Amino acid sequence: MSQRFMILDGSSLLFRAFYALPLLTSPTGEYTNAVVGFSNMLQKMIAEYKPDCMVVAFDKSRHTFRTEMFADYKGNRDKAPEEFSAQVPLLREFLEGWGIPFLEMDNYEADDIIGTLSKRAEEAGGYEVLIVTGDRDALQLVSKDVNVLYTRKGISDIVRYDEAAFKEKYGFEPIRLIDLKGLMGDSSDNIPGVPGVGEKTATKLLLQFGFLEDVYAHIDEVSGKKLKEKLTENQAQAELSKKLATIERNAPVEFTPEEYAITPDHERFFAFCDKYGMRSARQGFEKLYPAQGTLLLELGTEETEQKHKAARIAGRNEAEVFADKLRKASVPAFCGVYEGKVPHLKLRALGLSTGDENAVVESGSEAWDILYPLLEDASLHWVTIDLKSFYHVGGSREAHVEDVQLAAYLADPSIGTADVEQLRSIWLPSAPAISADEDETEKAAEGAGIVSKLWPVIFEKLKGYDMEKLYNDMEKPLVAVLAEMEENGIYVNRDRLSAQAEAVGKKLLDLEQEIYTLAKHPFNINSPKQLGEVLFDELGLPAQKKTKTGYSTNAEVLNSLRYVHPIVEKILEYRLWMKLKSTYLDSIGELIDSETKRVHTTFNQMVTATGRLSSSDPNLQNIPVRKEEGRIIREFFEPGEGYDYLLSADYSQIELRILAHLSQDKNFVNAFTHDEDIHARTASEVFGVPMEDVTSELRRRAKAVNFGIVYGISDYGLSQDLGISRKDAAGYIKSYFEKCPGVKSFIDGTVSEAHEKGYVTTLFGRRRDLPQIHSKNFTQRSLAERMAMNTPIQGTAADIIKLAMAAAYRAIKDAGLKSRILLQVHDELVIETTEEELSKVQEILRGAMEKIVSLSVPLPIDIHYGKNWAEAK
């Protein structure tokens, strides 16, 4: 019987945990998130693998034998953030209490300690070694007796690598990982490798020849002249890279297995947890090491597993029994298993849960006919995840169904669209994770169980934040509106679209030839790297900006070089058409539904940090409009069969009007109340000229300042935008604030409130946490401060149009019109309508959009309509 010896890479796991969890703090203000995450992972490891002995290895200092060999080793690493470093000593304290030995050594990395200990254990025999790490390099240690548990993402997604699993993934045995690194390098450790050789080429070479040395021994057999050259030129560098990637397995560290037992010190550990407010760590520890004399009322493991195993219900009788339980459940929950795409989405199965008991029911079974109707039963109050999909498959809008995902997003928008497992790990970290190796329907059942438990916790939080109304009256009603918009889709004239795609394709071929001639040879124009080499190395144009990987070739740079060389203009033109063809013409064509002839975008309600919607597959919120060449794309969006016009209704200056309302600045409120040109008025104030003397240039500058204010102004940003000096920009801002003191005090007030509370809110109570506002790092803190200025404005605008959408939707429906909302583009709604309904629909939109809230300034909309989206602007 072999001993199971677990070795943890403390440094890498702590780092993973740090980035996986939000910055939690103890009651006394110390950061604890990394330790909390480490603790969760440790508990899981011990519970699952029950190791006989354990050691945690740490990196000690940056200076190691590797930096002796190569000074730049890991030279590209930023210093770890203060919030992280402060937790390293905390983890030691934690391990001391838990009774787990740890090791660190001068001149060696944690990897080398792990490599050495695992080798000694192999030599001694009788050990099964499990290495837990978030560092891929350790995979080279995998052998018959040594496996690696690698944290793929965050800390909960762990994969076990044994010899077979490694071979499956890489195609060769583990030790050759160092040869791979020798060839391809490792950007995260700043290991150079052979430039131009990536994973693909490196793997090919190793499979063909064996080890790195074999590649060089057979260098003549390498195919490709370029590749051979690169390999020969960089042989020394490849060999050094291999050495750097090789874990030292004979480090001067003693192997003393008798000292590696876990010896929990309850008192010490509890004191630690209490001091740092780590309740779940304490609970988990207690579960693993029950104090003597405490009576255990826990369920046996077998029984626990039984509990999570979902019953598959097919027959009528079982269904009746489970239906009864659901009716009595305090939080009945379901998770749908969907297949297909909107507007053809189908419900294949349901995971159901009473909170205590989970079940699966498949569509088409006898049980389905008994259980599905419960979802429409108004006496049940259901919870699900992804309510929009439920609506897509015909779920009743009248049914009482909550969406945990939506509630969780509102409580913390930074998590975005979190799946059940993510929500569990955030909100119920001590509950068992969803089993990984079940089929989709079983996961749905288990998911339903979790959803049932999540809802009370998350909704309670929402109530604590005073966000119930936001959820009930704004976001939840919007779900049905978005579902319908997605199902509606928008008609795209496929013939005109593909004709244009073809024409643009020809144009691109011509441009390509002209560019090759001017460059004197063909190259990949789409590659910024190759383009940079052609422009700046070969043609000798003056390089001005650099990116971290080479020369910058963006539009700003190219524009400034327009008249230096004729190739530049051609490249700009090539870029313009290439963008239009690949992003719009080709890909939208592919997304036209063959049955409906329309494109059905997805409106994501749980993505942005500010409360805006986003659109994807395809993104219909970024269809070109500013440039003539791009605007053509809009011509292909037309009213579909049975409709005559596309109509667009957009808010005029909504963000600046919100700024006026929130700040109560006299100038702004006045200007908007009298419907003045706000940018001209700003110019007049800031530059001290009468309104009639405001030139278009002055207006342009004032407009830039107004935008700057909305984004969270900085003199640097404004100077970049206007192409003026930072000093001048600072001067503009100064006189702006003198003339608009209301705006100034609003911004100052918002930022200082963010510092005090750690979050900001919109007019309707939407919340955004800004943990970085306390950062000691200037850049991060400044970013958070700009977010603090921008979020209440952008977020309030998002709130308003969301309310307006639901109101317009309702009003159109109540009026019995066939007109319908197709798209939302942040401050604009696109509607499909008919000749007869044209005036009625305009009236409804004005009522819904302009009257939905009453601010200190009016909120007028502009309406345009036409035979396509380009005309409706």
Partner DNA sequence: ATTATCACG
Partner DNA sequence: ACGTACGTGATAATC
Q: Which 763-792 positions form the footprint of DNA (CB under 7 A)?
A: 778-779, 782-783, 786-787, 790-791
Kindly identify the residues of this chain, within the stretch 571-590, that bind DNA according to CB under 7 A: 575-576, 579, 582-583, 586-587
- Contact (CB, 8 A) for 857 and 675: no
- Contact (CB, 8 A) for 795 and 610: yes
CB of 674 or CB of 727, closer to DNA: 727
CB of 352 or CB of 658, closer to DNA: 658
Kindly identify the residues of this chain, within the stretch 34-93, that bind DNA according to CB under 7 A: none
- Contact (CB, 8 A) for 423 and 408: yes
Q: What's the closest the beta carbon of residue 130 comes to DNA, in angstroms?
A: 24
Q: What's the closest the beta carbon of residue 780 comes to DNA, in angstroms?
A: 10
Among 2, 435, 549, 695, which residue interacts with DNA (rule: CB under 7 A)?
549
Among 26, 235, 363, 552, which residue interacts with DNA (rule: CB under 7 A)?
552
Kindly identify the residues of this chain, within the stretch 813-872, that bind DNA according to CB under 7 A: 825-828
Among 625, 632, 811, 863, which residue interacts with DNA (rule: CB under 7 A)?
625
Q: What's the closest the beta carbon of residue 100 comes to DNA, in angstroms?
A: 30
CB of 310 or CB of 857, closer to DNA: 857
**Which residues lie below 8 Å from residue 680, measured CB to CB, with a gap of 6+?**
691, 694, 699, 702
Instruction: Based on the shown chain and the rule CB under 7 A, indicate whether residue 518 belongs to the binding site for DNA.
Output: no
CA distances from 269 to 272, 473, 588, 593 (A): 5, 46, 58, 60
Q: What's the closest the beta carbon of residue 787 comes to DNA, in angstroms?
A: 4
Instruction: Based on the shown chain and the rule CB under 7 A, indicate whether residue 695 belongs to the binding site for DNA.
Output: no
DSSP state of 871: T
Instruction: Based on the shown chain and the rule CB under 7 A, indicate whether residue 614 belongs to the binding site for DNA.
Output: yes
Cα–Cα distance for residue pair 771/790, rounded to 1 Å = 16
Cα–Cα distance for residue pair 803/174, rounded to 1 Å = 57
CB of 718 or CB of 804, closer to DNA: 718
Instruction: Based on the shown chain and the rule CB under 7 A, indicate whether residue 649 belongs to the binding site for DNA.
Output: no
DSSP helix, strand, coil percent of the chain (3-state; round to 5): 55, 15, 30
Length of the chain: 873
Which range in 122-130, 290-298, 608-616, 734-742 contacts DNA by CB under 7 A? 608-616
Cα–Cα distance for residue pair 333/375, rounded to 1 Å = 9
Give the binding-site size for DNA (rule: CB under 7 A).
77
CB of 92 or CB of 204, closer to DNA: 204
Strand 146-153 versus strand 401-403 pairing type: unpaired
Instruction: Based on the shown chain and the rule CB under 7 A, indicate whether residue 657 belongs to the binding site for DNA.
Output: no
CB of 144 or CB of 626, closer to DNA: 626
CB of 277 or CB of 550, closer to DNA: 550
CB of 347 or CB of 803, closer to DNA: 803
Kindly identify the residues of this chain, within the stretch 132-191, that bind DNA according to CB under 7 A: 184-185, 187
- Contact (CB, 8 A) for 610 and 802: no
Q: Which two tokens stand for residue 211?
A: 């080890």
Instruction: Based on the shown chain and the rule CB under 7 A, indicate whether residue 612 belongs to the binding site for DNA.
Output: yes
Instruction: Based on the shown chain and the rule CB under 7 A, indicate whether residue 615 belongs to the binding site for DNA.
Output: yes
Instruction: Based on the shown chain and the rule CB under 7 A, indicate whether residue 758 belongs to the binding site for DNA.
Output: no
Among 717, 731, 758, 847, which residue interacts with DNA (rule: CB under 7 A)?
717
Q: Which helix (H) or strand (E) holds 20?
A: helix 10-20
The CB density around residue 53, as the number of other CB atoms within 10 Å, is: 19
Kindly identify the residues of this chain, within the stretch 475-504, that bind DNA according to CB under 7 A: none
Instruction: Based on the shown chain and the rule CB under 7 A, indicate whether residue 604 belongs to the binding site for DNA.
Output: yes
Q: What's the closest the beta carbon of residue 722 comes to DNA, in angstroms?
A: 7
DSSP states of 459-488 as a string? HHHHHHTT-HHIIIIIIHHHHHHHHHHHHH
Instruction: Based on the shown chain and the rule CB under 7 A, indicate whether residue 527 belongs to the binding site for DNA.
Output: yes
Instruction: Based on the shown chain and the rule CB under 7 A, indicate whether residue 543 belongs to the binding site for DNA.
Output: no
Q: What's the closest the beta carbon of residue 839 comes to DNA, in angstroms?
A: 25
Kindly identify the residues of this chain, within the stretch 256-315, that bind DNA according to CB under 7 A: none
Cα–Cα distance for residue pair 328/278, rounded to 1 Å = 35
Helical H segments across 614-740, by residue range: 628-635, 654-663, 666-673, 678-687, 696-711, 715-722, 726-739
Q: What's the closest the beta carbon of residue 549 comes to DNA, in angstroms?
A: 4
CA distances from 604 to 291, 388, 622 (A): 49, 10, 14
Beta-bridge mates of residue 191: 186
DSSP state of 234: T
Q: What's the closest the beta carbon of residue 157 comes to DNA, in angstroms?
A: 10
- Contact (CB, 8 A) for 120 and 145: no
**Which residues lie below 8 Å from residue 588, measured CB to CB, with a gap of 6+?**
492, 497, 599, 618, 633
SS3 870: coil
Among 256, 306, 616, 839, which residue interacts with DNA (rule: CB under 7 A)?
616
- Contact (CB, 8 A) for 605 and 480: no
CB of 467 or CB of 588, closer to DNA: 588
Instruction: Based on the shown chain and the rule CB under 7 A, indicate whether residue 622 belongs to the binding site for DNA.
Output: yes
Kindly identify the residues of this chain, within the stretch 182-201, that bind DNA according to CB under 7 A: 184-185, 187, 195-196, 198-200
Instruction: Based on the shown chain and the rule CB under 7 A, indicate whether residue 752 belongs to the binding site for DNA.
Output: no
Q: Which helix (H) or strand (E) holds 497?
A: helix 494-519
Q: What's the closest the beta carbon of residue 792 comes to DNA, in angstroms?
A: 12
